[in-house]
Amino acid sequence: MRVLLAKSAGFCYGVERAVELAKKTAAERGGCVMLGDLIHNAQVIAELEALGVRRAESPADIRSGETVVLRSHGERRDVVEELESRGVRCVSAACPNVLRIQKLAAQAEREGRRAAIIGEPHHPEIRAVASYCADPLIFGGPEEAAAWLAEDPSRREIPITVTAQTTCIRELFETSVKILKKQCTNVKIFDTICNATHRRQSEAAEIAAQADAMVVVGDRRSANTKHLTEICNERCPRVLQIERADELSPDFFNGCSVAGLTAGASTPAGIIKEVYATMSEEIKTAENGEESFEELLNQSFKTLNTGEKVTGIVTAVGPTEVQVDVGAKQAAYIKASELSDDPNAKPEDIVKVGDEIEAYIVRVNDVEGYAELSKKRLDTVKVWENIEQAVEDKTIMEGVVTEVNKGGIVVSVKGVRVFVPASQSGMPRGADLSTMVKSKVQLRITEVNRARRRVVGSIRSVTDEARKAAQDEIWNNIEVGKHYTGTVKSMTAYGVFVDIGGVDGMVHISELSWSRIKTPSEVCKVGDTLEVYVISYDPEKRKISLGVKDRSINPWDVFMSKYHVGDVAKVRIVKLMTFGAFAEVVPGVDGLIHISQIADRRIEKPSDVLSEGQEVDAEIIAVDEEKKKISLSIRALLTPAAEEEAPADAE
């Protein structure tokens, strides 16, 4: 018996997006809330609750200031508005396809049309869509649509915009649309059935038509799972809908030669794998026998008849084959194509006469007295064994990225394709994974299924470990005054965070430059390389304070060596006060221009004449070395106004 597994079974894009968004929100905010079930799957809901996603039965259970992740089916507009009015932060995990239907319903109302939705009236998705228009029509199928029109013939003149629940059975939608198009004079049709749903339903129908028994996996509250079961029941005499693998029984598969398996959009891959494995075991039990390891090998290698591994001595090397003495009555040989995976390799480059060689027996012909061997297939098995061992030993392996795949990348490790999910690629979320193609990477093997020739790996686990080692190195050797070359990772109004080799340190804005600056962006940007030194650190809180200023240079000494009283300096206005303005003379040294020294006339306030950032010439009129204070004057450089001539005495 064989098991046919639907390729599109399991999480759709919308469900996967909702689950990941809930996990991310909980991690970033130290927990969050989901209103009702985020998706229809009890196991996933339990996992989310364990990660800090609290389940609320109603909006009243959500407190002001909390963050709520709105489910993938969408939420009613009045509920969202009520939550936001109470200070609840709403994060929508609604499927993009559901959001499209909501917009179409709202648009229909704005255009003076009536929205009609083909779907289940009490489903959360339909209730959410219906809230975006005043008086929607909801038809469960063609019979309800026909009945509504028959009640009042004048309804045929009403402008209608028709959409469908994303998980609606296509036949129901198309039959309903046919009736409405035929009888209504003004109807707009939007096929909003999810493409993934349509593929899943089509595959289920195709497999069910071939199977003697069909298993549908999914939550019993899930509409799309229920529809899959209905579709399968029409084509297969024996259909079982389950939520978990322990609901299977060997008796269900008695007399079956082909079994089918599909799953709803809210079913995690882990449950599908478990059911698939259990089905295989239950089928074996139903057939009253267990397959031996040799039989499994025979299934893996189609040309292998005996599967026996032998060791022999090379007796002759020819251009097309290699002869081997295996110590038996049959003569044995290996075709050149069965020596190596490299099609260009020549037999004489691989083996020589007298070499000992291991190979599989792929065929034995006792009548003609020869055995056909394969070294290539044995090498492949050894690679798989090494990879399986690498899972247990957590060995770091090396490979080359060969392609970008749906959801991740493919890495070739010793000729075996290893799938690395995007989340485990070590690249930031949303990054272009194609930049990794042809690059060498190190990874750990996390999952191996030899029967399905599926291998999953993680680059991130290796990079995270290397980063942790680098962090430990930093903390074990850090000391005040030690210099590092770092990279600006992020910026705030009060400073920048710099990566100094796996550990981020903070450079306060006051430590970025001797000059007075308002924002860090005036002197650096994200990605810049900075030479920094340690000012202080706290190993317990894992905080490091860094500086960029060159402490070997004393700005006051620079000023004193360059300027004296009476000199004129080009200064920059850095701060305006009621009593005057502070100006930078050299980086790190400011002087005061008193309000009386700004102009050759009386002014009300410094901003009447000066502005921050302005450069002006000023004379140094006094220096207090002890207090390190400087007095400046702009007025001293201005041409004195001509004295008014005294009037002649009247005679």
Q: For residues 212 and 385, give the distance between their C-alpha atoms in angstroms, rounded to a whole number.
A: 35
Burial class (CB in 10 A: 0-12, 13-18, 19+), 428: exposed
Phi, psi (degrees; rounded to nearest 5) at 520: -60, -25
CB 217 within 8 A of CB 264: yes
Burial class (CB in 10 A: 0-12, 13-18, 19+), 55: middle
The sign of the CA dihedral 551, 552, 554, 558 is negative
Strands 568-576 and 580-586: what pairing?
antiparallel
CB 257 within 8 A of CB 212: yes
Burial class (CB in 10 A: 0-12, 13-18, 19+), 329: exposed
Burial class (CB in 10 A: 0-12, 13-18, 19+), 573: buried
Q: Give, for 445, the enclosing helix (H) or strand (E).
A: strand 440-449
How many residues in the chain? 651
Q: For residues 216 and 577, give the distance between their C-alpha atoms in angstroms, rounded to a whole number.
A: 76
- The 3-state DSSP class for residue 588 equals coil
Per annotation, catalytic residue among 16, 125, 338, 619: 125
Strands 356-365 and 370-374: what pairing?
antiparallel
Q: For residues 453 and 417, give the distance between their C-alpha atoms in angstroms, rounded to a whole number.
A: 9
- The 3-state DSSP class for residue 346 equals coil
Contacting residues for 361 by C-beta, under 8 A, at least 6 apart: 304, 305, 306, 307, 308, 309, 310, 332, 371, 372, 373
Q: For residues 523 and 526, give the distance between their C-alpha atoms in angstroms, rounded to a whole number.
A: 11
Tell me, yes or no, if 645 is annotated catalytic: no
Tokens of 626: 């002890």
- Nearest partner of 103 among 131, 72, 142, 141, judged by Cα: 131
Contacting residues for 524 by C-beta, under 8 A, at least 6 apart: 488, 491, 496, 512, 530
Contacting residues for 421 by C-beta, under 8 A, at least 6 apart: 407, 408, 456
Q: For residues 437 and 412, give the distance between their C-alpha atoms in angstroms, rounded to a whole number.
A: 11
- Nearest partner of 376 among 403, 410, 413, 351, judged by Cα: 351
Edge-first strand order for the sheet with 114-118 is: 137-139, 114-118, 160-164, 187-189
- Nearest partner of 280 among 310, 245, 309, 312, judged by Cα: 245
Q: What angle do helix axes 170-183 and 142-151 make, rounded to 10 degrees?
A: 20
CB 473 within 8 A of CB 503: no
Active site residues: 125
